[in-house]
Amino acid sequence: MSPAPAVPCVAVEIVHESLAALGVTAVSLTALAGDASQRRFFRVFLADGTTLIAALYPPGHEEQAARDHAVQVWGWERGLPIPRPAGRDGLVVVSEDLGDLDLDRAVAALGENALVLAVEALAAFQACEWRSLPTAAFDAAFFRRELAVFERYALAPDAGLRREVTAFLDDLARRLASHPYRLTHRDFHFNNLFLYEGRVRAVDFQDMRGGPDTYDLASLLGERGGAGLGADEAAWAERVAARLGWEPGWRQRYLECAAQRRLKVIGTFLRLAAAGRPAYLAWLPGVRERAARALEQLGTPAGLVRVLVSASRGRL
């Protein structure tokens, strides 16, 4: 995680108070760059030279902090490659510090070996039974709500083929909900995967849930640094399918997940940009290209692909 601009003193005070309640005496705190959520992150420096990461949730989000901590404890107890939980007090969740070397930074040296390491982390998630998770599994309504963000931020009200687009997205959400389920991280991309002590461990895991078997790989290969790596997506999908033992029909399922996930991500990036966070627009070209490819390989009518892909340029 990278340093962030100065934060309000009250936020620092809240973190110090929660750390004290957990029996942790901090020598100092450094604010870190956040993610797409409203949480603030801090690196906590201890007297013995070690560090922790503290996540501060917005006011009124104690229940969310408690749920996310419960998910982390659940995953850690099952050996998932995530940070060790160090405690929670009120709005503050404290975790092991995995350092600053995410795969987006490491890929320059690792090349496609970054994917090899990421797939081993993915294998750990897929091997884990998910039904006792505190978070509910994906369903068709959930997938469709995600695609509604794409419709809102990417499609103009008078977009051509609007009815066809809506029908296509409705059907796509239903199809994903019929896939075989495994444990999904839900945001399995290079910026959430950290190289630590020789292996990859995942952050931003709090929304993991039961979901389509190919979902996380579609995210890994189609977004951010994964899309920019230039790896042969089809060849990697074949390799991972064999490694993880996916059921027959996985190629079609992968394309369906890739289409839904990438349209969802386009909508998310445009929403964040509209909220004053334009840095996310830098990743749009790569995910737009991969979305178009998945849609075409699914046999989506060319006119509909054009509407969806041109829409992803946004209405900002």
- Which residue ranges form the domains of the chain, and what is each CATH number? 9-96 (3.30.200.20), 103-311 (3.90.1200.10)
CB burial of 166-180 (b: ≥16 within 10 Å; e: otherwise) equals eebbeebbebbbebe
Tell me how far apart the alpha carbons of residues 97 and 133 are, in angstroms, rounded to a whole number.
Answer: 24
Residue 162: per-residue pLDDT: 83
Two tokens, residue 195: 């190289």
Answer yes or no: pTM beyond 0.85: yes
DSSP string computed for 149-206:
HHHHHHS-TT-TTHHHHHHHHHHHHHHHHTSPEEEE-S--SGGGEEEETTEEEE-S-T
Neighbours of 136 (CB within 10 A): 9
Query: Tens digit of pLDDT for each residue in 86-127?
Result: 999 999 999 999 999 999 999 989 999 999 999 999 999 999
The one-digit pLDDT tens for each residue of the chain (316 residues) are 555 555 678 899 999 999 999 999 999 999 998 766 789 999 999 999 999 999 999 999 999 999 999 999 999 999 999 999 999 999 999 999 999 999 999 998 999 999 999 999 999 999 999 999 999 999 999 999 999 999 999 887 766 678 899 999 999 999 999 999 999 999 999 999 999 999 999 999 999 999 999 999 999 999 888 877 888 999 999 999 999 999 999 999 999 999 999 999 999 999 999 999 899 999 888 888 899 999 999 999 988 888 887 765 544 4
Tell the burial category of 239 from Cβ atoms under 10 Å away from its Cβ (0-12, 13-18, 19+). Answer: middle
Q: Do 54 and 94 touch, CB atoms closer than 8 A?
A: yes
Phi, psi of 193 (to 5 degrees): -115, 120
CB neighbour list of residue 90: distance below 8 Å, 6 or more residues apart: 14, 18, 21, 62, 65
Task: Let me know the angle formed at the C-alpha of 205 by 285 and 246, rounded to the nearest 5 degrees.
Answer: 75
Residue 159: per-residue pLDDT: 64
Tell me how far apart the alpha carbons of residues 20 and 95 are, in angstroms, rounded to a whole number.
Answer: 15
Q: Do 39 and 91 touch, CB atoms closer than 8 A?
A: no
Residue 231: per-residue pLDDT: 86
Tell the burial category of 305 from Cβ atoms under 10 Å away from its Cβ (0-12, 13-18, 19+). Answer: buried
Residue 316: per-residue pLDDT: 40
